[in-house]
Structure 1
Amino acid sequence: MSNSVSPTGRLALVTGASSGIGAAFARQLAADGYDLIAVGRRRDRLDALAAELSGIRVRAVVADLATDAGVETVARICAGEPLSMLVNNAGVAHYMPFAELPADKASELLHVKVVAPTLLSRAAVPGMIARGKGAIINVAGMLAFSGPAPIDRLPLRRAVYIGTLAHIVAMSQALNEELKADGLQVQVLLPGVVATEFHTRQGLDLTAVPRMSASDVVIASLRGLALGEVLCAPGVERADLFDAIAQAGLAAFGAQSPQLAERYR
């Protein structure tokens, strides 16, 4: 940890900070003057990241968010530190047919992408409300919108993974509506295919596939936060597409009736 004090007095906690998008967030936030709490599973990677960053304070926290103990450890930090920003970035993916997905792998996915973002946000929010400001960035992915895609378009079966991302989208949207009057912002970040180790760890070779850099994803996220975007999709030019999805969903929600729909009679 550096002895220097952040000139802005801002503190960010980033999960999954040892590589990929998380490391890119850590580097950009450090450049913007944030002190950091960098969370990951690999001590050597976190220590190397901390040594790389200068002029700010960096606290490395080793925790596995696939476990209850790991989530509890980081939740205590979120509750006890004056966080300006929480970046729920940690991720894992297990692509295989649903009937073949081992229960422990399904549990790992749900812990990392549902339980952890939910409970870490829950721990951080009261302090942010008390201070009248704060931002939460939840990293999901464009696959959140791919549920109805036919199997020939997405041959890699990943129903549970897609479900976790959809949870993050809906939770972030609802949470932003709930907290914006308290001065807080919630963003859900929706990258597409990104040039990181993420897919390599699943045994996939995507070197021939066009991919966005992790640093561009982070640039989009932080710029989107400044623009007040709740859904930030770095690779989607037409933001109005998300407005159309939202309006269609709200129209269906508002069209409910206590009467049985004609098509079911």
Structure 2
Amino acid sequence: MHQLALVTGASSGIGRAFARRLAGLGHDVVAVGRRADRLEALAAEFPDVEVRPLIADLSTGEGVDAVADVCATEPLTMLVNNAGVAHYMPFADLPAAKARELVQVKVAAPTLLARAAVPGMLARGAGAIVNVAGMIAFSGPAPASQLPRRAVYAGALAHLVAMSQVLAAELSGTGVAVQVLCPGVVATEFHERQGLDLSGVPRMSAEDVVTAGLRGLELGETVCAPGVEDASLLQRVFDADLAAFGGQSTELAGRYRS
């Protein structure tokens, strides 16, 4: 089968590493981003495959629609929903425009692009969707002392985890795989753009994140955590989720009765 991948946020970081790896493996790539110069430089690296720049801002409805049209009409074998923004700051200080941008880029865009891509993948009986989230998705129970503040960002990543898990189950047996990729701190420009200096903090390379994601697909992992050596830690999270889900009843719990 002809391999055609679409990667969002392809002008830097994990997205660029995904686009470069897939092009190097012989995939044609639709490289989505906002910086034309970087996407054109990426395309020039791979003369033997088609790396097609697609300039789009996924914080806008027009940008999402333009990329969704490609997802719906071209025979994608892989969709990598990687584009992101963080906007770490206390919730009450987060400007509404930044909150809207974050939810649009990290919740609405991946949801709508996957929705556009899935019918064609189902018809072809093959495909993979990789939603790039992060281990912050699991940080909700952290105490108040943990910084930086990032309620909307953590919630957006948690959405990607739950959506990917449920969608993977829904598409089981169809030939279409779904993965949520959850790295920790990665050596990219991402944090610098938020005004955070992590140069002294140990960080994983974007290339290693891509290696984990692609290997995780081969292993059949729905949740891929590149930096978690003991996979049973993740399984215990999922088992506890299902235990809580299954522990509900129609009777009011005793602690709520006067």
* TM-score with structure 2 setting the length: 0.98
Letter in 2 for 1:108: E
Deviations 1:144-175 (A, max 9, x none): 000111132x2211000000000000000000
Deviations 1:229-259 (A, max 9, x none): 1110110001111111111111111111100
**1:170 equivalent in structure 2:** 162
What is the alpha-carbon root mean square deviation over aligned residues? 0.7
Q: Secondary structure at the match of 1:164?
A: helix
Moved more, 24-33 or 135-144: 24-33
Q: Secondary structure at the match of 1:236?
A: coil
**2:53 equivalent in structure 1:** 60
Deviations 1:157-206 (A, max 9, x none): 10000000000000000000001221110000001000000000011110
2:181 is the alignment partner of 1:189? yes
Q: Secondary structure at the match of 1:119?
A: helix
2:12 to 7, 11, 19: 19
Give the Cα separation in 2 of the matches to 1:240 and 1:61: 40
Alignment of 1:1-265 (within 5 A): 9-152=2-145, 154-265=146-257
Q: Give runs of ≥4 in structure 1 deviating > 2 Å.
A: none
**1:3 equivalent in structure 2:** none
Q: Secondary structure at the match of 2:22?
A: helix
Give the Cα separation in 1 of the matches to 2:174 and 2:2: 20
Q: Secondary structure at the match of 2:233?
A: helix
**How far apart are 1:31 and its partner, in Å?**
1.3
Q: Secondary structure at the match of 2:226?
A: coil
Deviations 1:206-235 (A, max 9, x none): 000000000000001001110101110110
Give the Cα separation in 1 of the matches to 2:71 and 2:147: 38
Structure 2: runs of 5+ lacking an equivalent: none
**How far apart are 1:88 and its partner, in Å?**
0.1
Q: Secondary structure at the match of 1:113?
A: helix
Letter in 1 for 2:202: P
**How far apart are 1:54 and its partner, in Å?**
2.8
Structure 1: runs of 5+ lacking an equivalent: 1-7
Q: Secondary structure at the match of 2:75?
A: coil
Give the Cα separation in 2 of the matches to 1:57 and 1:250: 44
* TM-score with structure 1 setting the length: 0.96
